[in-house]
Structure 1
């Protein structure tokens, strides 16, 4: 109820004071969100200053794209109002971030189509047309799951996927968008003979041995990364020792000069994913920035270090 000398307004007067339409005021009234101070003798709604404040708050919340249930909770539950507002704003920010990321990927795709030679446009359109915006990493993860040994422990698989699957940048340069589209095409194309070639070490090591192998390789790649960032030539050292130890554990062998020579020969015969790692490096590195190490570039560096070590030992 209104105070004795509180002004009362009709629905039209309230709408005018709030800069809203009568339809808007009636809608929120019907939803039970606007308090009526009284009714006229003819049964018409009358509103006081509290309704004006509430209406202004409702419109502010709706401007933030809060839903009616969220608005209702903020208005009716004083204890939870702060948390409800904070959660709702966080949710909208996440949604908006996703929308902005999608728009930036579409912008990069448009640049790729506009700036390529006319003869390449049809092919580029087909390539880009297979991507979601923003793109999903699920096809890349499925690709690696067919590469990794069956029944490898889930924890080990997840750890490898974290470093092997590049995350699409939020603000991609057109070259990064093109590289990711090419990665998507590569990882979704049918494998020759219907099955992806597997490294020989997977067969020898089995699931448990492969888990040890990839854990050891992750350590070796991390140790090699500073050398790659400083553009140092491949060389024996701690990173190479960790690399060889990972394979030695998988092959159930010891790290000896003979094993290192055997390992170099086996690695040279294993199937490679050079193109995957080349594209990954582009996705991870904006033009003009220093190239970020990838498992592929680290593996190349360590193989070269192994060849150098074998040559020096000979």
Structure 2
């Protein structure tokens, strides 16, 4: 379509060339994103040929679902250096991040709905309440608060962060319904009250060991790592480097040395400590199996090492 003699288009002509509606052009003009070049004698808006490219860019940005303030910043950047650069890159990256979060939320909601759909009718109300207590995608804040309250007071922040990295499972990006259920149950477990019948703190968290908490949990993390491979391979608990590291961590926390007497006392102390078996069972369900084998968690590694300690004590008796 040839342009008018003065090189300017009316709002209708611009809309027709762009394949848009007059309402769309007026909307962007009213918000200052598409300024007119001049006004006719009758006060009607007139646009230069550059308005066509600008309108195309605006519509392309809006098609990416960028909000108007970000569109404005991209246009200003484009006008300033002759091409949309860093501002557009940042805007697209931010939008991709938000879309990723939305998609993760949708995947969790879909798995949750399938979970409710596939369960017996009498269980649906309970599952709905359980799942509704967890955001989509879920947050691990409640799990972290649980462990921060359980860990020794004044434990150094780096040691706490290292422990939380192992103890708090990250929700899978594309969960199966069973993983959604396990995470919801995990959330309900950590937000519930501590059983009154048993203490919620192990003996090693006592005042005499607080200053050595970082040493204890660094040693335990190493021991759990050493136990993970035989645990995944299905090996029975045995005395070895993993057990020695496990015992040494507790010996350092109590300010004593390793030995037969200490191992016997440690076994008895650990047997009386509060256990979080259900927590670790659910953590393994959230993680899902790897190579067809259950996930090795700090809880399963701890149990494996306790069994190795018990066998070692009995053998030495």
TM-score by length of 1: 0.91
Indicate conservation of the 8 Å contact 2:289/2:295, yes or no: no
Give, in whole Å, the separation in 2 of the partners of 1:102 and 1:218: 32
**1:172 counterpart residue number:** 175
- Listed one character per residue, the Cα deviations across residues 103-138 of structure 1 (whole Å, up to 9, x for unaligned) are 111111111111112222222222222122122211
Q: Residues 134, 4 of structure 1: CA spacing in aligned structure 2 closer, same or farther, 3 A cutoff?
A: closer
Displacement of 1:195: 9.0
Q: Secondary structure at the match of 1:103?
A: helix
1:6–1:229 distance in 2 versus 1, CA, 3 Å: farther
* 1:175 and 1:282 in contact (8 A); partners too: yes
The 3-state SS of whatever aligns with 2:85 is helix
CA distance in structure 1 between the aligned counterparts of 2:94 and 2:75, rounded to whole angstroms? 19
Distance 1:6 1:298, change over 3 A: farther
- 8 Å contact from structure 2 (residues 198, 274) kept in 1: no
Displacement after TM superposition at 1:34 (Å): 2.1
Contact 1:217 1:246 in 2 (8 A): yes
Which residue matches 1:67? 67
SS for the counterpart of 2:234 is coil
2:297 to 294, 298, 304: 294
Residue 288 of structure 1, CA deviation: 7.5
Hey, what does 1:212 align to over in structure 2? 215
Q: 1:122-161, aligned counterparts within 5 Å?
A: 122-161=125-164
Q: CA 1:122 to 1:39, structure 2 compared with 1: closer, same or farther past 3 Å?
A: closer
- The match for 1:88 is 91
User: 1:307 Cα deviation (Å)?
Assistant: 2.1
Correspondences of 1:259-298 after superposition (within 5 Å): 259-285=262-288, 289-298=292-301
Partner in structure 1 of residue 41 of structure 2: 41
Displacement of 1:194 after TM fit?
10
Secondary structure of the residue that 1:46 maps to in structure 2?
strand
CA change 1:188–1:195 in 2 (3 A) is farther
- Is contact 1:38-1:46 (8 Å) kept? yes
Does residue 1:202 correspond to 2:205, yes or no? yes
Q: Measure how far apart 1:8 and its partner are.
A: 2.6
State how far apart, in whole Å, the 2-side matches of 1:195 and 1:128 are.
Answer: 28
CA distance in 2, matches of 1:123, 1:243: 40
Deviations 1:29-60, CA, capped at 9 Å, x for gaps: 23332243443332322223211011000110
Question: TM-score if structure 2 supplies the norm length?
Answer: 0.91
CA gap 1:177/1:86 in 2 versus in 1, 3 angstroms: same
**Maintained 8 Å contact 1:153/1:208:** no
Whole-angstrom distance in 2 between the partners of 1:284 and 1:258: 38
Relative to 1, partners in 2 of residues 1:50 and 1:248: Cα closer, same or farther, differing over 3 Å?
A: same
> CA separation in 1, counterparts of 2:122 and 2:187?
22
The total of aligned residue pairs comes to 312
